[in-house]
Structure 1
Amino acid sequence: MLQDISQFIFREAKLLDDRDYEAWLGLFEPDGLYVVPLAGEADGGRQAAIVRDNQAAREERVHHLQNHWFPAQQPPSRTLHFVSNVLGQESDGIWRVSTSQMIYETREGDWTQVGLGELRSIVARIDYQLRITPDGLRIREKRVLLLNAASWQQNLAFIY
């Protein structure tokens, strides 16, 4: 089963790299969460977070990335996800999976646009809660624990 889970997570990474956000939305359960907590906020709960998206917020995020002139994403980010150290354990029908990920991000531009044209690396432990459904695996929760969450973050407008 862990091989299937690894393939699911690799596919999610490719969907994000390809900016196939509609397909990415379909990976979540309707009540699923996408969370990027502040440093030291591992449980997420009701504490402040950089991102805490339920289904409506995920759909709105995707809508803005695809349909609006979004200054933080003009030009849009190009990303490449590297996923490793996929470890998982099942309990009560939920697979709790931990991964190490390095995400490279760049936005094309020239010297007149600060930060554009630079290659940036984001390192995170990304934890998933996955459920097996009749339609396959679905994300109950995706929690992105940025290695440098306590540091200044340049542009967080793309999806990790």
Structure 2
Amino acid sequence: MTPLELCYDVAKLSLGRSALLDAAFERATLYRTRLKRLKEINQPGYSYWYECTSRHFTLALTPLSVADKFKELMAQKPGSWIFTSATLSVNDDLHHFTSRLGIEQAESLLLPSPFDYSRQALLLCAAQPAANQSTGLRTATGGNVATDHRS
């Protein structure tokens, strides 16, 4: 029996005796369920990954598709769902976005960007300063961008 299973069993026997023990049982149940799912690594449709830092680690289970879950959520909360972003469409089409969320029938509206990119945007590809240059890059072409990379 693992320490988590022991904690779960003891907390289960103590249910209703105090709010703290009830909360401990809820946490033990949550962790038990999560660990059980993480151990089922042969389950298709999920990506299993971990992340480590100097203070902690995270074990993660991420679905490769959220379409089914999102469809359920939309069915539970009927109403108008409005998605806004400059990056939802691909070649003026929303199919990629809607199919990933499991949205089969939707009214959609694509609006042109309010920005005049040809006159309001500037792409600057500056060369890197010499490694021993102490002052770094001071001013970009035309004075539109100023940066200071002091040591």
Higher relative contact order (CA 8 A, sep 6+): 1
User: Given the two structures, how large is their TM-score scaled by the length of structure 1?
Assistant: 0.19
User: Given the two structures, how large is their TM-score scaled by the length of structure 2?
Assistant: 0.20
Which has a greater percent of strand?
Answer: 1
